[in-house]
Amino acid sequence: MSVQEVIQFVAAGVMLIVALRMNAFFSGTETGLYRLNPLRVNVDALAGDPIAKRLLWYVQHPSHFVATTLVGNNVANFIASLAINMGVSVFLATQSAEILATLFFTPIIFLFGDLIPKSLFYRAPMMLLRKSLRWFDMFYRLFLVISLPLVRISVWAQRFAPAEVSSDSPFLGRQRLLELLGKGHEEGVLTDVQNRLISGLLNTAVQPVSQSMIPSTRVLGLSSRATRDEILKFSNQYAVPFVILKEDKEEGDWSQYVRPIDVAVASGAVTNWFETMPRVDSRATKLETLLAMRQSAAPVAAILENGQVSGVVFERGLVEQLFRPIQQAGS
């Protein structure tokens, strides 16, 4: 081999390594983008992370990202093909030799330039994209002249797509939001308590409060004429922190409550410590009812149906429902 042939062979080897590295880089980053958790990226970006802000821009403009990876992979494939031809021509410049060399190197390029990088980015997209972002930004600017027309064509083609296929809407559907919250919990953005609370607000809080009320016929309580001893005895018997009271009528409504602790330590008439329950329409949601109870600092509320008290609901029960784990559809 002459000096020129040695230089050509070494150059072909270097070009093949560069092409393999570029192929691995663009194949992996493309997979990494689709594996990113948008909620995690958004939270990090709002916290002031400059890398997360840049990643968020790519998440919001995926056509720019995909166009860059498409151009990069084609450049890598062109360099690999050229390197193989240069290397083979040093020994045997025939078409059959080039075909055999291409067949030999194709599985190697597929394994190390496509399969392994995609697997790595699939398993750790956030970490690897953070390390690769500076290089990707460089290639994005370098290929911008070629990739920008591809982006324009993509935007133009999207105009003919059906309305339901478009992903430009800034509003998340309820199911999609639940999926994002689940991913956020897996990624450590949300704690278990936060995840259950948000799921409860989305699922349970919008339900009518009538689903959680205790009918009037099943409420345990006393008459508003109950004495101090009767209230304290009732409280000790049922171990309740407050006693619900009914108006002193044959068909009276549950309308008041009293805390036994106040009755036990205070002097004077028992009625001085009676509190009026907030009244909520049965069509109100559980969250609306809970807010009304919090505003009144009341642990119990009367539920009205057609102007009459049909039952009561307890604040503790509503709060427990909000933190109850929610089974997602299909799980």
Mean pLDDT of the chain: 82
Residues 218-236, mean pLDDT to the nearest whole number: 91
Residue 71 has pLDDT above 90, yes or no: yes
3-class DSSP state of 259: coil
CATH number for the region 209-322 comes to 3.10.580.10
Higher-confidence residue of 192 and 60: namely: 60
pLDDT computed for residue 38 by the predictor: 79
At 3 the pLDDT is 80
Identify the top-confidence range among 9-23, 28-42, 249-263.
9-23
Sorted by sequence, the CB contacts under 8 Å of residue 224 that are 6+ apart come out as: 245, 246, 247, 248, 252, 256, 271, 274
Contact between 39 and 25 (Cβ < 8 Å): no
More confident residue, 253 or 20: 20
pLDDT band at 169 (very low <50, low <70, confident <90, very high): very low
How far CA 251 is from CA of 108, 200, 213, 216, 271, in Å, comes to 86, 36, 19, 11, 20
Q: Is the pLDDT confidence value at 180 over 70?
A: no
Q: Which range has the top average pLDDT, 98-112, 139-153, 168-182?
A: 139-153
Whether 75 has a pLDDT exceeding 90, the answer reads: yes
The one-letter amino acid code at 123 reads R
- Lowest pLDDT segment from 17-21, 70-74, 109-113, 274-278: 109-113
| Mean pLDDT (whole number) for 32-61 | 86
Helix, strand or coil, per DSSP, at residue 97? helix
User: Does residue 326 surpass a pLDDT of 60?
Assistant: no
Lowest mean pLDDT among 69-73, 152-156, 197-201: 197-201
Residue 164 banded pLDDT, cuts 50, 70, 90: very low
Query: In the block, which residue shows the tokens 């028992």?
Result: 270
CB atoms under 10 Å from CB of 14, counted, come to: 11
pLDDT class of 302 with cuts at 50, 70, 90: very high
Query: What percent of the chain stands above pLDDT 70?
Result: 80
Q: Which amino acid is at 61?
A: H
Average pLDDT estimate for 124-147: 92
The pTM of this model reads 0.51
CA distance 197 to 327: 13
Q: Give pLDDT, residue 298.
A: 92
Of 3, 156, 150, the residue nearest 66 (C-alpha): 150
DSSP state of 163: G
Q: Which residues belong to CATH 3.10.580.10 in the chain?
A: 209-322
pLDDT of residue 155: 75
